Copies of this chain bind each other. A is one copy, B any other.
Amino acid sequence: MSAAASVTIGVAARRTGISAKMIRYYEEIGLVTSAQRNAGGYRLYGPEDLHALRFVRRARDLGFSVEEIRALLALWRDRGRASAQVKALALGHVADLRRRIAALEDMARTLGDLARHCGGDARPDCPILDDLAGPPAPDDVGRRPERKRRARFTTHG
């Protein structure tokens, strides 16, 4: 075995692309196993640890949440897992991504449309603001006649 070479957290950070801060955080929340320590209290990372950290890094790049990664790591370590479980998790995440994409696209489309109708010149007229402002005051701006409107808590006077 020869207890393969270990590196400190800074080196591990550089090698995995995860900041030292985040490595400590992941340890704290139990996402990765606690690193061994040398006599001086420094964390030491062996190849296996780095491998796991890279796994985490890649999973985060794919947008998985920490909790999802926790599950993925468990499946990874479970040599007997059914690939169906992994696939289900992945597809669930894809569905989530698609939902978020759709939401963002709605926004982008709407806003793009509004912008397209906006002069974008020195004049103040702007359909974007008009849209944000909505219908011209559904309340009683534009003072409707006498219709005594009774609202609770009218102010001083």
Flag whether A14 is at the interface (Cβ < 8 A).
no
Docked-complex contact A154 and B6, CB < 8 angstroms: yes
Give the distance to chain B from A33, nearest Cβ to Cβ, in Å: 15
How many copies of the shown chain assemble into the complex?
Answer: 2
Residues of A24-64 whose CB lies within 8 A of B: 36, 38-39, 42, 44, 46-48, 50-51, 54-55, 58-59, 61-63
Docked-complex contact A128 and B87, CB < 8 angstroms: yes
Interface size on A, residues (CB 8 A): 83
Q: Which one of B39, B58, B129 contacts A132 once the chains associate, using CB atoms below 8 Å?
A: B58
Docked-complex contact B63 and A107, CB < 8 angstroms: yes
Contact of A123 with B7 at beta-carbon distance under 8 Å, contacts A90-B115, A91-B115, A132-B72 already known: no
Docked-complex contact A153 and B110, CB < 8 angstroms: no
Docked-complex contact B107 and A104, CB < 8 angstroms: no
Give the distance to chain B from A59, nearest Cβ to Cβ, in Å: 5
Residues of A73-123 whose CB lies within 8 A of B: 75-76, 78-84, 86-88, 90-91, 93-94, 97-98, 100-101, 104-105, 107-108, 110-112, 114-115, 118-123
